[in-house]
Amino acid sequence: SAARPRGAAADQLRILQAAGLRPEDPSEAEKAIRRADVVIDALIGYSLRGAPRGRAAELIALCNEHARRVLALDVPSGLDATTGEAPGAVVRADRTLTLALPKTGLASLSGELYVADIGIPPEVYRPLGISFEPFFGSRYWVRLTHKRMAIR
């Protein structure tokens, strides 16, 4: 039997169920990926440590082989968001919607790149040494250009 999710994963499962949705049976992943118009990749995020292993690596391979289109959430799974290095398999995203700020490692392997405003005030970045001038205006997301990728 599969291990029960804990921590943040358990919280997200409760939210999913409260919305009246149910997760796909993991054994049906290939069938679900083949029939989906768009696969949303949210397997591994910013916390990547080494090459994807186990089920994550299997799902990345299935996405790369069978998905029609892939939207990566924050970072394509398997890609180091800071360095852009891929220590193993990486989801081949058609588009990536990264959260809050552009990440330096997303310049390649991310497809079309967008950034979503998740409501973090610019003042939060200053103590971290991040120079950031908001570029969202009244929009919740914007397409990134090379100029916008230059945020440090």
The model's pLDDT over 43-84, given as tens digits with 9 standing for 90+, comes to 988 778 899 999 899 999 999 999 999 999 999 999 999 899
What's the whole-number average pLDDT of the chain? 87
Which amino acid, one-letter code, is at 3?
A
Give the C-alpha separation, 14 to 46, whole Å: 22
Q: At CA 12, angle to CA 6 and CA 13, rounded to 5?
A: 75
| Rounded-to-integer distance, Cα 112 and Cα 97, Å | 9
Higher pLDDT residue, 147 or 44?
Answer: 44
Residue 75 tokens, joined: 């970072």
- Token pair 């169920």 is found at 17
From the list 65, 41, 61, the residue with the least C-alpha distance to 51 is 61
Under the banding of pLDDT at 50, 70 and 90, the label for residue 2 is low
From the list 109, 133, 137, the residue with the least C-alpha distance to 123 is 133
The per-residue DSSP string of 109-125 comes to: SSSEEEEE-----GGGT
Nearest to 77 by CA among 44, 106, 122: 44
CATH assignment, 25-150: 3.40.50.10260
Whole-number pLDDT of residue 71: 97
Residue 146 one-letter amino acid: H
